[in-house]
Amino acid sequence: MTRCVDAGFRLDWRFPSVADSPTQPVRDDQETLTGKVALITGAAHRIGAEIARALHGAGMDLVLHYRRSALAADEIRHELESERAESVALVQADLHATAALPALVEGALSQFGRLDVLVNNASSFYPTTVGATTEAQWDDLMGTNLKAPYFLAQAAAPALRRTVGCIVNLVDIHAIRPLAGHPVYSMAKAGNAMMVCALARELGPEIRVNGVAPGAILWPEEGLSEAVRREILDRTVLKRPGSPRDIARTVLFLVRDAPYITGQVIRVDGGRTTQH
């Protein structure tokens, strides 16, 4: 294995690079994802890892981004390459380093020769209190949830045009109904939802742009009391939590099975947003 380090960006190689050459547009009648390539941010854990499993299982080669979770990312790579060798590359980057974002795309092209899908999954999530919010909190939440996805989409657009590819953003139901105690996060996700619509208009007709808005899928890592969890579930129609697989399958649908859908955000929330 060789390693390239440059400006806060590191791509770990495990096999020879493929020449970076233009590819032909995808034909409308092609339904297989075999041989196509997806770049997924925040892919080492939780929903990002499940999206990686779903797209890889459908035949895609993957470039998996992580920030600090090198061990977890390598475990996902090992898991997936046990099923199909030489199909996963890892890339480490701080998404706040805007100038380094084009290198993620360049790494995917150098490794696999093409890019078909960008999944903007990486996200910071924590409460902020009005009156005590810091500029660092604002920059972090807006950076990971809004700024980085936009500039990464901008960097990926030329490659995605060549393959008639698509972008999928992970949004949140709180983009339309703010979460108490999380004003900055909610505002950032609202911007992310508008990004889906705006980029669909700007990047079409070659590139489709859609979003997935999870509801009660995974509890925050810091934990919630059983009473609070029960209250959240009682406000869904289905009265139960979803799973990361529900999100991953929706992403797969948008990537593979929805050639005439763009500019849409699909809520995967068990009916939560039908309730007051």
Task: Give residue-wise pLDDT tens across range 62-100.
Answer: 999 999 999 999 999 999 999 999 999 999 999 999 999
Least confident range of 59-68, 122-131, 212-221, 227-236 = 227-236
- Please, what is the average pLDDT of the chain? 87
pLDDT mean over 129-142: 98
- Looking at residue 269, its pLDDT comes to 82
* 265: nearest Cα among 186, 198, 180: 198
List of residues 6+ apart from 253 with CB closer than 8 A: none
What mean pLDDT comes out for the span 183-195? Answer: 98
pLDDT at 243: 86
Q: Which residue has the higher pLDDT, 164 or 217?
A: 164
Query: What confidence score (pLDDT) does residue 101 get?
Result: 97
Give the domain ranges of the chain.
Answer: 3-15+33-274
**23-70 confidence digits (pLDDT tens):** 444 444 446 999 999 999 999 999 999 999 999 999 999 999 999 999
Instruction: Say what the pLDDT of residue 64 is.
Output: 98
Between strands 37-40 and 9-12, the pairing is unpaired
- Contacts (Cβ under 8 Å, ≥6 apart) of 86: 14, 15
CA quadruple 42, 48, 51, 52: dihedral positive or negative?
A: positive
- Active site (annotated) includes residue 185: yes
Pick the CATH number of 3-15+33-274 from 3.40.50.10130, 3.90.1170.50, 3.40.50.720, 3.30.1490.20: 3.40.50.720
Contacts of 71 (CB under 8 A, 6+ apart): none
Amino acid identity for residue 20 in this structure: D
- Mean per-residue pLDDT, 119-137: 96
pLDDT at site 109: 97
Task: Spot the catalytic one: 66, 126, 185, 260.
Answer: 185
Q: For residue 103, name the pLDDT band (cuts at 50, 70, 90).
A: very high
SS3 per residue for 145-185:
HHHHHHHHHHHHHHHHHHHCCEEEEECCHHHCCCCCCCHHH
